[in-house]
Amino acid sequence: FGALQSTDPEIADVVLGELSRLRGGLQLIASENLTSPAVLAAVGSTLSNKYAEGYPGRRYYGGCAEVDKAELIGIERAKALFGAEHVNMQPHSGASANIAAYAAFAKPGDTILAMDLKQGGHLTHGSRVNFSGKWFNAISYSVRKDTELIDYDQVRDLAREHRPKIIIAGATAYARLIDFAAFREIADEVGAILMVDAAHFIGLVAGKAIPSPVPYADVVTFSTHKVLRGPRGGMILSKAEHAKAIDKAIFPFNQGGPLMHSVAGKAVALKEASTPEFETYAAQVVTNAAALAESLEAEGMRAVSGGTDTHLALIDLRGLGVTGAQAEERADLAKITLNKNAIPYDPEKPMTASGIRVGSPSVTTQGMIESDMARIGTLIARAVRAEPGTTAGDAELAEVASAVETLVAAHPAYPRPA
């Protein structure tokens, strides 16, 4: 870090500023986590220099002996951890992994069936502003209005009607377990590929806190930096029969040289995720998310679908008369980082939204438990109710920020060496 400070103090200040932000507030973005110093060391290593187009043992560049080892170690670790037949470590991100999975099984104009973005799906699941909605005939399924759970009857009906090439299970803002067996049955009935986008929850699968999609899916895509706590990046697991198609769809179809520092960082994260400590962590992530949802409900904020089975909760704020955008801004002023989020059948526009999404991965990495979640729930409620720009509101937000500082001081992110 000394080299960075002397060469580029401006960027060094940004790095330190971000570290202070992480240490000084509560991070409740469901798709974020705090990677270990070991992962950060791999990502900040000289492996970043290496061109390694191709795959281990079959590269288009010389000098790949060392980086080959990192990729092979990562592949073996992922196979063992997830029980996967084939692993591709190279996607630059979850979105890149999804592009490759689509490319492996479909051509432009083909039909895909995935969860509606407005109901919790991801942009890459057929949104009109994304390649997935522009290049494919994207059909969307929803959650039921009464239960706010995936409407499996609708999935089956749409699959029968549209005969999609690929059915996608997995979401960005869905707090409940997904019935992978039901999706498999539907995919088999219509001859579709079942792709599970496990970006959000693969870390919980690694930690054995929730059931795995791997036995059911033809292909499982994910980003590596969410609950899994790896570096920014993506990965793909697949059945052996799809190995060639998946590998070709990453390189040469969709990417050039892999980011070997990130591949090494993913390998480190997979080692960490294979430990009993990570299983304890994953179980606590789920317990904490449930405790946080319960605490918010006690404060008059409704948990969509009545709660959570995972690392996140989607919260309907309409009972408080506050929008998601207002809540995000107010929480931010109180040093609580979370995001506004549309709730199913949301009457508001996405930039306003009626809800927020809260996640427990980062605070659980910091060692927080259920009692801390109860306090966080109260602090969120106080912040969200406080109106900035009024004397009382500003005073309340300052008080909440100070309570947040006390809480995070007891569970520091990236603790300073003693």
Residues comprising the binding site?
A: 117, 121-123, 241
* 122 binds ligand PLP, rule: CB under 6 A: yes
Spatial distance between the Cα atoms of 14 and 29, rounded to a whole number of angstroms: 20
Phi/psi of residue 412, nearest 5 degrees: -65, 145
Binding map of ligand PLP across residues 253-282, x = CB under 6 A, - = no contact: ------------------------------
Question: Is 197 among the residues that bind ligand PLP (CB under 6 A)?
Answer: yes
In 3D, which of 305, 290, 356 has the Cα closest to residue 143?
305
Coil/strand/helix, residue 170: coil
Which position among 50, 165, 176, 200 is part of the footprint of ligand PLP (CB under 6 A)? 200
Q: Which stretch binds ligand PLP (CB under 6 A): 77-85, 93-101, 182-190, 356-364?
A: 93-101
Q: Examine residue 364 and tell whether it contacts ligand PLP (CB under 6 A).
A: no
Q: What secondary structure letter does DSSP report for 254?
A: I
Identify the residue among 199, 227, 289, 343 touching ligand PLP (CB under 6 A): 199
Contact region with ligand PLP (CB under 6 A), list: 15-23, 64-72, 195-203, 375-383: 195-203
* Rounded Cα gap, residues 261 and 233, in angstroms: 10
Told to check if 203 binds ligand PLP by CB under 6 A, we report no
- Shortest CB 30 distance to ligand PLP, Å: 9
Task: Please tell me the count of residues contacting ligand PLP according to CB under 6 A.
Answer: 15
| Residue 237, helix vs strand vs coil | strand
Binding part of the chain for ligand PLP, among 75-83, 164-172, 339-347, 365-373 by CB under 6 A, reads 164-172
Residue 114 or 315: the one with the smaller Cβ distance to ligand PLP is 114
Beta bridge partners of 197: 221
Q: Which is nearer to ligand PLP, 171 or 290 (CB)?
A: 171
Q: Which two tokens stand for residue 300?
A: 């008059």
- Find the length of the chain: 418
Which residues make Cβ contacts (< 8 Å) with residue 14, sequence separation at least 6? none
By CB under 6 A, residue 357 contacts ligand PLP: no
Contacts of residue 185, Cβ cutoff 8 Å, sequence gap at least 6: none
Q: Which of 25, 133, 230, 234 binds ligand PLP (CB under 6 A)?
A: 234
Of 140 and 223, nearer to ligand PLP (C-beta) is: 223
Among positions 25, 26, 31, 333, the unique one binding ligand PLP when judged by CB under 6 A:
31
Is 231 a binding residue for ligand PLP by CB under 6 A? The answer is no
Q: Is 230 in the site for ligand PLP (CB under 6 A)?
A: no
Q: Which residues contact 397 (CB under 8 A, 6 or more apart)?
A: 330, 333, 334, 383, 386, 388
What's the min distance (Å) between Cβ of 400 and ligand PLP?
27
Write the CB contacts of 184 (distance below 8 Å, at least 6 apart in sequence): 194, 216, 217
95, 169, 175, 404: residue in contact with ligand PLP (rule CB under 6 A): 95
Does an H or E element contain 269, and which? helix 260-273
Among 377, 364, 350, 203, residue whose Cα is nearest residue 288: 364
Half-sphere exposure for 98 (CA within 13 Å, toward CB): 27
Q: Which of residues 327-356 bind ligand PLP (CB under 6 A)?
A: none
Of 122 and 340, which CB lies nearer to ligand PLP in the complex structure?
Answer: 122
Among 90, 111, 124, 308, binds ligand PLP (CB under 6 A): 124
Order of all β-strands in the sheet with 234-238? 86-88, 234-238, 219-223, 193-197, 166-169, 111-115, 137-141
| 102 three-class SS | helix
Binding residues for (6S)-5,6,7,8-tetrahydrofolate: 117, 121-123, 241
Choices 33-41, 150-158, 194-202, 384-392 (CB under 6 A): range interacting with ligand PLP: 194-202
Residue 102 C-beta: closest distance to ligand PLP, Å: 12
Least distance (Å) from ligand PLP to the CB of residue 259? 13
Bridge partners of 166, per DSSP, are 112, 193
Dihedral through CA 108, CA 113, CA 116, CA 120, nearest 10? -110
In the complex, the residues that contact ligand PLP under the rule CB under 6 A are 31, 93-95, 98, 122, 124, 170-172, 197, 199-200, 223, 234
